[in-house]
Amino acid sequence: MDIRYERRNVYKEADEKKTEEIFSYAEGYKKFLDSAKTERDAAEICQKLALERGFTPYKFGEKLKAGDRRYHISHGKTVFLIKAGSEDAAKYGIRIMGAHVDSPRLDLKPHPLYEEKGLAMFKTHYYGGIKKYQWTAMPLALHGVMYKKGGERVDIKVGDDDGDPVFYISDLLPHLSAEQNGLTLSKAIKGESLNALAGTIPEIGAEDEKNAVKANILKLLHDKYGVTEEDFTCSELCLVPAGHARDVGFDRGLISAYAHDDICCAYPEMTALFESVASPHTLVAIFADKEEVGSDGVTGMNSRIILDLLNAVSASIGADPVAARYASLCVSADVTAGYDPNYPDVFDKRNSCFLNGGAAVQKYTGSAGKRSTNDAPAEVMAKIRDILDGENVIWQTGEMGKVDAGGGGTIAKFISYIGIDTVDMGLPVLSMHAPYEIISKADLYEMHLAMKAFCK
């Protein structure tokens, strides 16, 4: 028995077959990721995959038997995948995996479209924690929905196909940046200057000469989608980075893409639930909305939706809901910071998570003296360790960054609030919340194995 702790590296232990599995799993992930840039996109593709696998919509009040597969979607955004277990949930508990599928981005304002000196622009309001300067001078795609009077929904997705136009927020040329260069990063680009180019060609013969470009855009939108300017007030339109996931490095070990946080956890929990067979535990995988803005709102995990859904599922499988909850275990599946050699000063390298080190279990998150954290009890950590080690999953643990460098939160504290043992687990990420983030294919695969072990 080795009494020392040694960090592991997935590739140092992987044989040829496992390396192949790592790489082929990543291909499925990249495909999923490219079609899951917003929570609505993610819910749609998840629903499609669930339907293909025989899942049917969950009916509140229905009775479920072992192996039954259901899904529930709230407002087209938050998804619950449900698989009924073979044993009494009051004893075995429900195994919950909770990732989020919203990512930092730029939302269009309720009155987004305006014209200034012949340029039509979209006004935006950033969603989630972004570094504003990262969102300028790059191609952006527009994803979302608009509602017409009477409630007809129009889906909009422009900018990801090669033939599509994109949108673009200009940055200042270096030649005229003398003043901007002296500002701090947080002040150099202001929220109100994150306005995206939407068009430049005037409508010939427009009534209002000064707004002829805007008039032309409205005409194009009306011709294509049948929407009016007022319909923007009943819309959710998001500017997200255009393009798709790409391999990084000569060895292709990493993936650069938008929305790894948190699709890189949502995808493994989904694939694990799909692949699980005959689990004694009832399984619930959550694709949550609103995590990036604090989990508030009717589709966020800081709402009654999680409690009500679990109570309903408990009733469906014939278990006492309170007993089931207190016997349950939850992995809050979310990312953490990977150690970044470009910025060693913000890490405690003895307590960091490393790329290729496997699934990253976090006892606590939070900031400023572990504030606002679900600090998983040691007993829960011990249980998770046994689950992961029992299936030889490669995992690591640490903290997001060094003490007082900052911090962050996840949905963990909202699940533990209702009495469920919860621990954070996810992938180490580089450039988290940047338009293009980095993860390791090996960690992604270990996360899938970890979620499979959890579902067993």
Tokens standing for 399?
A: 């903290």
Residues of 377-388 as b/e, b for ≥16 C-beta within 10 angstroms?
A: eeebeeebeebb
Tokens standing for 142?
A: 């527009």
Among 39, 334, 340, 443, contact with Mn ion (rule: CB under 5 A): 334
Could you tell me which stretch among 10-18, 33-41, 207-215, 326-334 binds Mn ion (CB under 5 A)?
Answer: 326-334
Could you tell me which stretch among 9-17, 238-246, 312-320, 332-340 binds Mn ion (CB under 5 A)?
Answer: 332-340
Could you tell me which stretch among 252-260, 334-342, 350-358, 371-379 binds Mn ion (CB under 5 A)?
Answer: 334-342
Tokens standing for 268?
A: 């493994």
Binding mask 17-36 for Mn ion (x = CB under 5 A): --------------------
Residue 146 exposed, middle or buried by CB count within 10 Å (0-12, 13-18, 19+): buried
What Cα–Cα distance (Å) separates residue 322 from each residue in 16, 108, 327, 344? Answer: 46, 42, 9, 45
Q: How far is the CB of 347 from Mn ion (least distance, A)?
A: 18
Q: How far is the CB of 327 from Mn ion (least distance, A)?
A: 27
Within 117-181, strands assigned E span 119-127, 139-147, 153-158, 167-168
What pairing do the DSSP bridges indicate for beta strands 78-83 and 69-74? antiparallel
Residue 166 or 411 having the CB closest to Mn ion: 411
Residue 126 exposed, middle or buried by CB count within 10 Å (0-12, 13-18, 19+): middle
Residue 261 or 269 having the CB closest to Mn ion: 261
By CB under 5 A, residue 115 contacts Mn ion = no
Residue bearing tokens 């995590």: 291
| Size of site (CB under 5 A) for Mn ion | 3
Residue 358 or 426 having the CB closest to Mn ion: 426
How far is Cα 189 from Cα 132, in angstroms, rounded to an integer? 6
Residue 44 or 262 having the CB closest to Mn ion: 262
Residue 26 or 412 having the CB closest to Mn ion: 412
Residue 334 or 340 having the CB closest to Mn ion: 334
Residue 236 or 334 having the CB closest to Mn ion: 334
Could you tell me which stretch among 155-163, 179-187, 298-306, 329-337 binds Mn ion (CB under 5 A)?
Answer: 329-337
Q: How far is the CB of 102 from Mn ion (least distance, A)?
A: 9
Strand order in 329-333's β-sheet? 56-57, 69-74, 78-83, 282-288, 94-100, 329-333, 421-426, 359-362, 395-397
Binding mask 260-299 for Mn ion (x = CB under 5 A): -xx-------------------------------------
Residue 221 or 355 having the CB closest to Mn ion: 355
By CB under 5 A, residue 437 contacts Mn ion = no
Could you tell me which stretch among 237-245, 254-262, 272-280, 380-388 binds Mn ion (CB under 5 A)?
Answer: 254-262
Inter-residue contact 144 to 38 (CB < 8 Å):
yes
Residue 55 or 135 having the CB closest to Mn ion: 135
Nearest to 27 by CA among 319, 332, 245, 200: 245
Q: How far is the CB of 230 from Mn ion (least distance, A)?
A: 33
DSSP 336-355: EEBP-TT-GGG--GGG-B-T
Q: How far is the CB of 447 from Mn ion (least distance, A)?
A: 13
Q: How far is the CB of 428 from Mn ion (least distance, A)?
A: 12
Q: Which residues bind Mn ion (CB under 5 A)?
A: 261-262, 334
